[in-house]
Homo-oligomer: A and B are copies of this chain.
């Protein structure tokens, strides 16, 4: 039952946001009685943290370290995977880390910590891939891999916002063109 609640919460938080997704929406979606919620979670905030951890597991960070693929290709495919996921949602939903960062991180320290941990893990994995791509001569050697990784994450999160408000893939095209055509090379 706990697993059903977490999966429903992830879907509802991603589709509707933290405040708009009520506990009853989540238990209805999970097909469990609302009364059972507090047997499993102390609060909606506590569930949000578990949902963020679950979301992190779906981000395929391990693909950024796949030795069977050229590092710059890994980086590009990583963002193509995210882009294709969003296109599958009709350019809605965006990234749960960014959404919670915008909506709720200012107001809840535990959620802020979980979002921060998610961005840190992502930035670290991306920085390692950038470093490998530099060693392979595919990315300019004068870039700081850590700073560049965090800048690219920022640009991706912002591109999601622009794409959602345009309901168009234009911001993704710009992200790929500038990141891979100008910034890294």
Contacts and interface: CB of A to CB of B under 8 A. Distances in A.
Interface string A142-176: 01000110110111111101101111001100110
A106 interface: yes
Interface stretch (A33-41, A72-80, A94-102, A128-136): A94-102
Interface residues of A, number: 49
Given A98-B102, A102-B99, A103-B99, A174 B150 contact: yes
A5 to B, nearest CB: 21
Contacts of A16: 107
B151 A174 contact: yes
Nearest to A183: B183
A92 B182 CA distance: 31
B147 A177 contact: yes
A138 interface: no
Contacts of A164: 101-102, 105-106, 112
> Chain B CB within 10 Å — which of A17, A97, A150, A165 has the most?
A165
17 contacts: A15-B106, A17-B103, A92-B106, A93-B106, A98-B161, A101-B165, A102-B102, A105-B164, A116-B165, A151-B174, A151-B175, A153-B158, A153-B162, A154-B154, A154-B158, A154-B162, A155-B155
Given A98-B161, A102-B103, A148-B182, 15 more contacts: A93-B106, A102-B102, A105-B165, A115-B165, A150-B170, A150-B174, A151-B179, A154-B154, A154-B171, A155-B158, A157-B161, A158-B158, A158-B159, A178-B183, A182-B183
